[in-house]
Structure 1
């Protein structure tokens, strides 16, 4: 892959993330505010794991299947929406952070990983996005697999860095919120979860016609 092509791809990915926080970013902010950046790293790991699987699906041509039969996958999105709303409502109704004390470290880590994984996987149209993005930067006369690996790893690194940045910003906000009460922290985080659900619910596209 020529260096100029790679730099154009890197710029395209950077522009893609230069937007207000999306579903995954809101989830990271919420978990960082409540649990700290160190623990929210498990959420980031879950999100990136799901992205890796979606990239693999795109590489195997499943993007075309999803694009032409979106109705078969739409239920995945709405299950994800319901999951985020459920978490958000639970947080709003929680008056303190006793769940942090009660949960074991391993159990909480798995729960945070699961939140990131499920939230990202709940957007099956991401496979279509990767299926449309990668071919634009692949040189068909050279081996494709190494190019896919470069493009995929680059995307994950940039995505992970952006998520860490949003998490850090969440930590800064937490220092202000926690001066008032943990109850307020939970309500704000619950509202972020429901906002993430609303963003996920708004994502849609028209399937391609044969």
Structure 2
């Protein structure tokens, strides 16, 4: 793959990531509520799902998944319901910090934060079709497929990870500087971000039908 082609690909991915989607909103919510270091588990879950989706596209499974309309709809709407439940739960639990040990206030486990990121990304199984449509635009037929595929995949994962980290670090920085009632509203905003993420997934699902 030539440098020119790779740079065009990077510019294309930057344009695609310029508008925050469900995964970015979830990262904002978890970073604001649970701090940036813990929210990295959410980013890891999201990127893990992306890698599986890329592999599915690379192995030619996009057509099979695209043909399974019923399964797609079920997974999609399950993800929407899950995000709404998380958002409502976060809003309801938002409140002033209780006196006592720092660990008195429960925090979700890193595994739970990871699964939130994974399920949010996996709830959009048509991402496989997206990768199957995007990658061929930058793959040269007379060169080996898998090395080019690997470059495109790694580039996407790194860029997505940087975007998620930027969103998360910003949300955590803001949350660290507010206490009391302001912190309560930040946590409520985090829950609202999750609900907005669910709405975005639902709108995409309807528009793609």
Q: TM-score, normalised by structure 2?
A: 0.89
SS of corresponding position for 1:139? coil
Partner Cα distance (1:164, 1:191) in 2? 20
1:1-210 to structure 2, matched below 5 A, reads 1-19=1-19, 21-96=20-95, 101=104, 103=106, 108-175=109-176, 177-204=178-205, 205-206=207-208
**CA-atom RMSD, angstroms?**
2.1
Q: CA deviation at 1:155?
A: 0.2
**2:31·2:169 contact (CA, 8 Å) conserved in 1?**
yes
**1:178·1:185 contact (CA, 8 Å) conserved in 2?**
no
Which structure 2 residue ranges, 5 or more long, are not aligned? none
SS of corresponding position for 1:140? coil
Greater CA deviation, 65-74 or 10-19? 65-74
Cα deviation 1:114-136 (Å, max 9, x = unaligned): 10000000000111100000111
Q: TM-score, normalised by structure 1?
A: 0.89
Q: CA deviation at 1:186?
A: 2.5
Report the count of equivalent residues: 204
